[in-house]
Amino acid sequence: MPENVQQDNCCSPDGGEEGFTHEKRLGWHEYFMSVAHLISRRATCTRGHVGAVLVRDNNILSTGYNGAPSGLPHCNETTCKIYRSTHPDGTVEENCVNTIHAEINAIAQAAKHGVSIKDADIYITASPCIHCLKVLINVGIKTIYYDKPYKIDHIAELLRLSGVKLVQIHVEMP
């Protein structure tokens, strides 16, 4: 005996709930950058929260945020240990001895779990520092998507020489 099956589409204004409003679906860039921002909320650095998402073929391969190595005290539990380095142009950069940057953590997580990231793209809440950029070049990242600029002038020459693309994707976070 056949069942009576109602054919209403619960996802359309005709067959759905009263007051249904159609929300715009996130595009891939918005989606991955939003994930990077969410990941950044796990960061333990007291100076800034950065999140990174490694992606290939619209699939998330690995994520990372800035913080201390696993099992070691984080900056939000102790004090930051800052060191200063001077760029050839004379500008001084400050970094924390304890913190691993989000990009490196994402790469480390992929390596730990045996996930190839060759020819992947990365979404980062801030453009990479020169040290992270060198590693991203070496692991085969083709495009770096970032939200907020961070000392882009320091990485311009490496980007030009490597052919890695740097693309700003800004998303409004709720």
Distance in angstroms (rounded) separating the CA atoms of residues 15 and 13:
6
The label of the residue with tokens 């030009």 reads 160
Q: Known binder of ligand: residue 45?
A: no
End-to-end, the C-alpha distance of the chain in Å comes to 50
- Contact in structure between 39 and 103 (CB atoms under 8 Å): no
| Catalytic option among 93, 94, 103, 157 | 103
Query: Does the annotation mark 94 as catalytic?
Result: no
19 vs 68: CA distance, rounded Å:
47
Query: Under a CB-based contact definition with an 8 Å cutoff, are residues 129 and 150 in contact?
Result: yes
Question: Pairing between strand 51-56 and 121-126?
Answer: antiparallel
Q: Flag whether 129 is marked binding.
A: yes
Cβ(114)–Cβ(142) below 8 Å: no
User: DSSP character for 23?
Assistant: P
Which residue positions form the known binding site for Zn(2+)? Answer: 101, 129, 132
Which residue positions form the known binding site? Answer: 101, 129, 132
Which residues are the active-site residues? 103
